[in-house]
Amino acid sequence: MSSNRTKYAQMQGIIPALITPYEEDGAISDSRTRKLVRHLMKQGVSGFYLSGSTGEGFLQSAEERQIFLEIVMDEVKREVPVIAHVGTMDTATAVQLTKHAYRAGATAVSAVTPFYYKHGSEQIKRHYIDIAKAADIPLICYHFPDMTGSKQSADFYRELAGVDHIIGLKFTSMNTYEMQQIMDVCGDDFLVFNGPDESCLAGLSMGAFGAIGSTYNIMPAKFAELHRLFRSGRIDEARAIQYEVNQVIQELLKYDFIAFEREILRLQGLETGLPRKPIQQLNDAQRADIYETAKRFPFLNVR
């Protein structure tokens, strides 16, 4: 077994891309964050990924992202790994967040490629190298072409895999062939994490080290069991769970995924507040529809 696979073995399971709980006034909630984190840990998750797409990191200030990380770190008390997403449109803020994550004791940082401006591969590579040099903390790159418009090649990641502190990649794409190509050229010591929840089993089957996903907030035990069954070689049973959770994801796709997940958490007794605008704000009819939908799936444990 390679050194990174041994060193970061705790990150090998199911890692929720954590919802950021807010108070009624929109401020980050200390108490609600702690309750959600503790709940998910009891459900068997293997760590947390903070301030990414699901966590609304791009709708928050750098200070808010730092506060959120500090709350989670204090609640987790190093029982499970915490990955801080530090991705931003500019390099300087990403470097600032990386230095803070190191001081706060995060296990690793991660960063999506800069978006909106059409950067070339060399500029994106330089961005990642600057983050990697900012502090003595591992960096997991983040491949999400559907959202960033940036689709880098396997050779791009092969070059980054040789940079100190860059240990892996969060791969959020349905193209498992491309995932396999990246793993092939980067080697076993480069840790690739599956991104799309609806293809969690497919990604694991192709060799993903672990899985980082959004709906792990609302179905943590199901995905933890899927991972356990996969590791035990019980593929038919794992596949049956993937089919079950995909039925929920199919319903989720009728809404903004963050709004849907926050409502499911509320129905589970875990209040996380409203998402920040312009993310969808559900009306009463939509909430009622989500409730009726959720009741069809007993494992969602809605009240």
Beta strand residue intervals within the chain, DSSP E: 14-16, 48-50, 82-85, 108-112, 139-143, 166-171, 191-194, 210-213
Catalytic residues, which ones?
A: 142, 170
Cβ atoms 36, 272 nearer than 8 A:
yes
- As a whole number of angstroms, the distance between CA 122 and CA 199 comes to 30
- As a whole number of angstroms, the distance between CA 293 and CA 275 comes to 20
Calculated CA dihedral for residues 134, 139, 145, 148, nearest 10 degrees: -30
Q: Token pair of 260, please?
A: 């849907």
Cβ atoms 143, 186 nearer than 8 A:
no
